[in-house]
């Protein structure tokens, strides 16, 4: 971590403030998801927070933040307080409120957060709900006081729904059908947390699953049983200490790989559940360096000898505080130089402040004044209908004190038109736009404007605009490669490579060459040692979509293309960046689940980091992202790699901002 801070501080301190863009922060109110939005987005692993304590009995709020930080780095985005796991029986009401605040602040605006009102009397229930909503918490899990009779329960929940417009999760309570029918009339009640008997779990999914999002506690195996009955979300203990296992399990579930999902549950989760106790859980947190092992008396805490037993348990599973054994391949061809966990390079990912909202298909540019995220797209919901919208925003990543944990995104300006999947360059402090998709139409205009999104000038029209093209800038030349030639993602693809001289932007782009092989979109390209490299992509022929594995190099000196060794797996929507002199780093992307089953609509998002070495003409897997992502923005900042946004699951854009120092052997 110290090395990361030094690298990041050097990067951020070099980004001198730009007076033209300086502005005061605007205070904005936190916004909770609507009940219906919460019900719809509640999907995947949930981190149920086990409240940690220090040795002297204080609540360890820093441990909560660290737990959530690690989980976010692996794509976990749902966080839940409960009366049991969060040990409300050991907490004062002020501590419960502060625990809720710590959860919400650490989770970030793009997470789903669930507070908890556990057997609160009515005035406290309403006070807590209003407080949680003021923080931006999305829902509260409510367990009614045990002394309430069945006839009194509906009024308890009706009062909450009438007084506070916040999604309600029904805590685990075995209620008569007549009571449930009354509760279902409350519009804010949209979910249920269920961990009683397996039979009750299935019965509730069958009876109420169309109305409520019912998620399970307990083991991963329990969720797998509920999955065919419509279960979409679940508690996963590993989110709190080894979230990479949680991410792998969810990836297998989403990919329909039942064998792998059951294998992970059997190998990791069930043995841990078999040993479960709160002292065991807190000792696990200490072993992984998340928090300390202590609980408030009279509940006992593990001894040093018992802690050594926890260490032995996880060592036998191949799990260690500093990492784990590499995941198995999903049937893809073996890489030319496969890397073991010991061989892969050290990537110390740091999760910075997220974007104001999820963004994909954007451009990440930087100069001496700052780092800018330009344009892109996002998914929105209106009147229950999801649609993708293109963005006209310019965001700037700022850090006034040189501390990466205090980095934040501010809106710096606006584009003249919304742009996604186009070519955007930065030269002498000005932005240049060509192509891309603007709403439902192609952007045919060539534009230039300031980084503050001002004084935009239309420079003319582009004779053959494309979108889904790949932009590469080398000195003053902005190249646009391939892409679709119509607003539809169909067979009308271009192989043209256009060059726009940004020193003389009034002159229109000229075609410099054409891509070899199939016309393509959504591929990766980079300039290395003055030569242009192209990897993979998306193509269509005869109505059939294919992901590509081929790679090529263009030598400007001879104006010739040269075929390179194929990628280890077919990829689209990945990114490439030159890391001289080591090679070209290929990041993330989307691929087939298996080389033997090339179905584009059943692919998987990747977390791989591959290095192509031009001298050895070979690929090596050199690491992985904290979580799978494709269609993200990527930049090299001095000795660090910045990864922003992207698609982390279907019809969703992440707001994550990740920064990692380059491995030591790549730093000049």
Query: What is the per-residue pLDDT across 632-653, written as a single tens digit (0 to 9) for each?
Result: 999 998 889 999 999 988 888 9
- The pair of three-digit structure tokens given for residue 105, joined into one six-digit string: 């602040």
Q: What is the mean pLDDT of the chain?
A: 88
* Average pLDDT of span 608-619: 93
| Element housing 500 (H / E) | strand 496-501
The reply to whether 300 falls in a domain is yes
Residue with tokens 């080389």: 595
Range of the domain at 226: 2-17+31-324
HEC assignment per residue over 450-482: ECCCCCCEEEEECCCCCECCEEEEECCEEEEEC
Q: What is the CATH number of the domain that holds 146?
A: 3.20.20.70
Q: Residue 597: its pLDDT value, please?
A: 60
Are the CB atoms for 16 and 369 separated by under 8 Å?
Answer: yes
The reply to whether 347 falls in a domain is no
Confidence of residue 628 (pLDDT cuts 50, 70, 90): confident
Alpha-carbon distance 624 to 361, whole Å? 21
The reply to whether 13 falls in a domain is yes
Alpha-carbon distance 69 to 76, whole Å? 9
* Average pLDDT of span 241-269: 91
Residue 191's nearest CA partner among 135, 233, 162, 148 is: 233
The reply to whether 56 falls in a domain is yes
Are the CB atoms for 527 and 512 separated by under 8 Å?
Answer: no
Report the percent of the chain where pLDDT is more than 90: 70
Q: Residue 668: its pLDDT value, please?
A: 61
The reply to whether 84 falls in a domain is yes
pLDDT digits (tens, 9 = 90+) for 327-373: 222 333 333 333 433 346 778 888 888 899 999 999 999 988 889 99
Report DSSP state, residue 474.
E
How many domains does the structure of the chain reveal?
1
Q: Is the pTM of this model over 0.85?
A: no
């Amino acid at each position: 971590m110290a090395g990361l801070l030094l690298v990041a501080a050097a990067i951020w301190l070099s980004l001198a403030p730009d007076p033209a863009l300086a502005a005061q922060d605007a205070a904005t109110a936190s916004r909770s998801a609507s009940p219906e939005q919460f019900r719809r987005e509640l999907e995947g692993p949930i981190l149920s927070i086990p409240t940690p304590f220090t040795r002297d009995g204080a609540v360890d709020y820093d441990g909560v933040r660290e737990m959530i930080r690690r989980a976010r780095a692996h794509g976990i985005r749902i966080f839940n307080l409960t009366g049991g796991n969060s040990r409300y029986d050991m907490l004062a009401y002020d501590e419960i409120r502060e625990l809720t605040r710590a959860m919400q602040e650490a989770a970030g605006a793009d997470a789903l957060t669930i507070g908890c009102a556990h057997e609160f009397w009515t005035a406290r229930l309403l006070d807590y709900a209003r407080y949680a909503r003021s923080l931006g918490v999305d829902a509260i899990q409510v367990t009614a006081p045990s002394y309430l009779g069945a006839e009194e329960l509906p009024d308890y929940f009706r009062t909450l729904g009438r007084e506070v417009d916040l999604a309600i999760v029904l805590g685990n309570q075995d209620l008569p059908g007549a009571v449930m029918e009354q509760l279902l009339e409350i519009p804010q009640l949209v979910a249920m947390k269920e961990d009683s008997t397996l039979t009750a779990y299935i019965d509730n999914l069958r009876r109420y699953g169309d109305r409520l999002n019912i998620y399970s506690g307990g083991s991963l195996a329990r969720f797998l049983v509920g999955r065919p009955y419509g279960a979409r979300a679940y508690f996963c203990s590993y989110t709190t200490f080894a979230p990479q296992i949680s991410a792998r399990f969810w990836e297998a579930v989403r990919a329909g790989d039942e064998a792998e999902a059951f294998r992970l549950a059997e190998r990791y989760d069930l043995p841990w559940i078999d040993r479960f106790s709160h002292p065991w859980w807190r000792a696990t947190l200490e072993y992984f360096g998340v928090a300390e092992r202590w609980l408030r008396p009279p509940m006992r805490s593990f001894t040093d000898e018992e802690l050594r037993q926890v260490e032995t348990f996880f060592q036998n599973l191949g799990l260690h505080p500093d990492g784990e054994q590499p995941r198995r391949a999903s049937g893809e061809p073996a890489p030319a130089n496969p890397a073991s966990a010991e061989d892969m390079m050290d990537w110390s990912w740091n999760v910075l402040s997220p974007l104001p909202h999820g963004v994909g298909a954007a451009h990440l540019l930087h100069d001496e004044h700052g780092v800018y995220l330009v344009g892109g797209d996002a998914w929105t919901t209106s009147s229950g209908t999801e649609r993708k919208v293109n963005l006209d925003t310019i965001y700037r990543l700022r850090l006034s004190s040189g501390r990466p944990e205090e980095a934040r995104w501010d809106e710096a300006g606006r584009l003249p038109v919304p742009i996604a999947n186009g070519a955007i360059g930065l030269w002498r402090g000005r932005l240049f736009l060509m192509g891309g998709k603007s709403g439902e139409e192609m952007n045919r205009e060539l534009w230039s404007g300031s980084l503050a999104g001002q004084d935009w000038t239309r420079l003319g029209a582009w004779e053959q605009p494309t979108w889904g093209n790949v932009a590469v800038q080398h000195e003053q030349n902005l190249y646009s490669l391939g892409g679709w030639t119509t607003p539809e993602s169909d067979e009308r693809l271009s192989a043209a490579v256009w060059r726009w001289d940004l020193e003389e932007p009034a002159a229109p782009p000229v075609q410099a060459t054409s891509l070899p092989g199939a016309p393509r979109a959504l591929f990766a390209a980079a300039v290395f040692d003055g030569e242009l490299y192209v990897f993979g992509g998306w193509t269509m022929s005869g109505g059939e979509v294919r992901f590509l594995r081929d790679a090529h190099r263009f030598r400007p000196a001879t104006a010739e293309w040269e075929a390179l060794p194929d990628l280890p797996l077919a990829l689209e929507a990945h990114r490439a960046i030159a890391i001289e002199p080591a090679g070209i780093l290929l990041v993330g992307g989307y691929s087939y689940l298996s080389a033997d089953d090339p179905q584009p609509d059943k692919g998987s998002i990747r977390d791989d980091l591959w290095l192509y070495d031009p001298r050895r003409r070979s690929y090596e897997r050199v690491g992985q992202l904290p979580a799978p992502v494709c269609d993200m923005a990527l930049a090299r900042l001095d000795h660090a790699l910045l990864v922003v946004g992207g698609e982390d699951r279907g019809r969703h854009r992440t707001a994550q901002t990740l920064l990692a120092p380059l491995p030591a052997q790549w730093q000049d």
